[in-house]
Structure 1
């Protein structure tokens, strides 16, 4: 896998073919959408869509919307997004631990109450381990499998467009489902375990779709197997760290 050529910095959201531009600007606010040389469809219809519509399609795990966000959007500040994910995840973990009586809440009358929330900091570390281990294990599995089994590349796809930066970025961005876990806190902690497991399944499905966008020539069953294996491995690592940090 190599870096994407600069002249093909965009992708068709329909077939994944590389493209140099998404539209032609005729000045005076007049633009013409370009069509893909492979499938003849509009390269990226989402550049004219409202962000709300794009967000809904992403929540539905639409691969066209994922391609738009991953390859045709100039997204900056990934570290802010990662911090947001980790804080959401850590806050939910802390809330559920307190609801189950696994940890003792800090007395809010303490002068340095906010600074003594060590359990929150521990959960931030736990959330960091969970996210990084998922990304690392799945990326490692993709690397290993690509060495022992090179998938057949379709003539409609350009293998030079694949690179590790895209895969890591796709795995991180497709963890947006972690923000949905905050609904557990808003709706109450009753049946929270079931809800969290459903969210984890949704995140796993989002990871699968993101990998299918980055690895369009790979068999879907292989991508699913690698993703599930990565999540199971991450769960084991996270559980070990949790026992070390909280003793339970």
Structure 2
């Protein structure tokens, strides 16, 4: 079955019946007898708010009923989300240590840049960030998949790799709040708060897509985020 009921996760062949343009009737789930997907008639802001509130119903709507791999250019969408994720992750790395050399790339004006920082220092800073992002996310993904096999007893064969990756990318949407740091200055602790929120959002998305116990999903996501944190901190200490 191609769709899911947002209330119980039961498979659905169709979510609504359209009688005429703008005239539809929402289908009810055979399992829970509730409306299968009430978000079809909701405004986008209601869906966003429910995603922020970590409601599994909103994640089921988005992951199963909206992002359909058969009707969308799924591969192209996955690449776009991946690029955006890595870009925001790089910006997060630049803001973690804003009292160090990384902050020079973001906070200083062009005049200060020319007086205090050379081109070699700029290239070195970019190399550090690139290494943190690439290696950190590689370790994150590898740990995540390994933890899935051990804790969730889930193989890539039963859940498609691209579906799992897309769920993690989408549930990391809160990193977009970093864009506000380009306009307003925030303490560096905000970056860690955003990272914790992303962790909790990843847990909800993983629970929805695997239908596993919450405790196992927490351990899976936490172990992946912890390994990524340890690797980036080890790289930071090495460059000091």
Conserved 8 A contact 1:92-1:184: no
Q: Residue in 2 aligned with 1:140? A: 146
Partner Cα separation in structure 1 for residue 37 and residue 193 of structure 2: 31
Conserved 8 A contact 2:95-2:191: no
**CA apart distance, 1:88:** 2.3
TM-score normalised over the length of structure 1: 0.76
Q: 1:130 is matched with which residue: 110, 132, 136?
A: 136
Map 1:20-35 onto structure 2 (within 5 A).
20-35=13-28
Q: Residue in 2 aligned with 1:211? A: 206
Conserved 8 A contact 1:36-1:42: yes
TM-score normalised over the length of structure 2: 0.78
The total of aligned residue pairs comes to 221
Segments of structure 1 that go 5 or more residues without pairing to the other structure are 1-7, 150-159
Partner Cα separation in structure 2 for residue 28 and residue 199 of structure 1: 41
Q: Residue in 2 aligned with 1:167? A: 164
Q: Which has the higher contact order (CA 8 A, sep 6+)?
A: 1
**CA apart distance, 1:206:** 0.5
Report the RMSD for the aligned CA atoms in angstroms: 3.0
Conserved 8 A contact 1:95-1:185: no
Q: Residue in 2 aligned with 1:51? A: 44
Q: Residue in 1 aligned with 2:215? A: 221
Is residue 119 from structure 1 mapped to residue 125 from structure 2 by the alignment?
Answer: yes
Shift >6 Å, 4+ stretches: none
Q: Deviations over 1:134-165 (max 9, x none)?
A: 23312221112344x9xxxxxxxxxx985444
Instruction: Name the SS for the 2:100 alignment partner.
Output: coil
